């Protein structure tokens, strides 16, 4: 069993490995960019290489990137919706670059319209992100974090997560995160 924690990337993304090693973890989650901004962090190539080297040295078995909190695939504002899809694509690319196995994100809120209404835009968004993943041969899984269901958040139940999967080959590599 792997046991780990979410740690800071302050000082460079490779520092996350130092931090998880120092507390004896063999799995780690990081924000690959600011969790409260849209703009992806431009990681220095040396830091990315160092991250992978240090991960191997430290024997870290799993790395997951948490995407920005701003993502809302249920957004009624088109600008927010498209930014959300782009942020997910960018996080998948960064995660791939550092050798991460997964990108975890929050679907967002249906903003009072109801779960079924929002699914009409959530499913195409997932199809776009997973399509890009396949097109660019990216490795990370796309992981949807469960929410408690407050204020219109989705995936408050495993059954709902399951119903979100597009019934196509694009769904490869998509799974719900464990509770």
Name, in order, each residue with C-beta under 8 angstroms of 6's C-beta and a sequence gap of 6 or more.
28, 29, 30, 31, 66
Could you give the CA distance from residue 153 to residue 97 in angstroms, rounded to a whole number?
30
Contact criterion met (CB below 8 Å) for 86 and 123: no
Token pair for 86:
């782009």
Of 26 and 145, the one with the shorter C-beta distance to Zn ion is: 145
| Choice between 105 and 170, CB closer to Zn ion | 105
User: Between the CA of residue 148 and those of 39, 108, 135, 142, 156, what are the distances in Å?
Assistant: 27, 11, 33, 19, 5
Helix, strand, or coil (residue 63): strand
Give min distance, CB of 106 to Zn ion, in A. Answer: 6
Residue 38 vs 52, nearer CB to Zn ion: 38
Question: Given the complex with Zn ion, which of 125 and 144 has the nearer CB atom?
Answer: 144
Minimal distance in Å, beta carbon 172 to Zn ion? 23
Smallest distance, Zn ion to C-beta of residue 176, A = 13
In the complex, the smallest distance separating the C-beta of residue 66 from Zn ion, rounded to whole angstroms, is 6
Residues 126-155 that bind Zn ion (CB under 5 A): 145
Query: Taking the complex as a whole, how short is the minimal distance between the CB of residue 145 and Zn ion, in angstroms?
Result: 4
94 and 65 Cβ atoms separated by less than 8 Å: yes
Residues 6 or more apart in contact with residue 112 via CB below 8 angstroms: 152
Residue nearest to Zn ion (CB): 145
Min dist CB 54 to Zn ion, Å, is 24
* Residue window 93-132: x/- pattern of binding to Zn ion, with contact defined by CB under 5 A: ----------------------------------------
Cβ closest to Zn ion, residue 93 vs residue 145:
145
Residue closer to Zn ion, measured from CB, 91 or 170 = 91
Phi, psi of 152 (to 5 degrees): 80, 15
Q: Which two tokens stand for residue 23?
A: 């507390």
Interface with Zn ion by CB under 5 A: which residues? 145
């Amino acid at each position: 069993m792997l046991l780990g924690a979410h740690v800071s990337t302050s000082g460079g993304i490779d520092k996350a490995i130092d931090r998880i090693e120092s507390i004896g973890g063999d799995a780690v989650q990081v924000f690959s960019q600011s969790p409260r901004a849209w703009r992806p962090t431009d990681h220095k190539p040396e830091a990315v290489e160092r991250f992978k080297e240090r991960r191997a040295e430290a024997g870290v078995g799993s790395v997951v990137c948490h995407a920005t909190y701003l993502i809302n695939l249920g957004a009624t504002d088109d600008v927010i919706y498209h930014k959300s899809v782009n942020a997910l694509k960018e996080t998948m690319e960064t995660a791939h670059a550092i050798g991460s196995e997964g990108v975890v994100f929050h679907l967002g809120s249906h903003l009072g319209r109801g779960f079924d209404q929002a699914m009409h835009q959530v499913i195409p968004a997932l199809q776009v992100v997973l399509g890009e993943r396949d097109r660019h041969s990216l490795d990370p899984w796309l992981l949807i974090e469960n929410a408690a269901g407050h204020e219109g958040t989705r995936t408050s139940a495993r059954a709902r997560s399951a119903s979100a999967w597009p019934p196509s080959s694009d769904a490869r590599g998509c799974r719900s995160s464990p509770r």
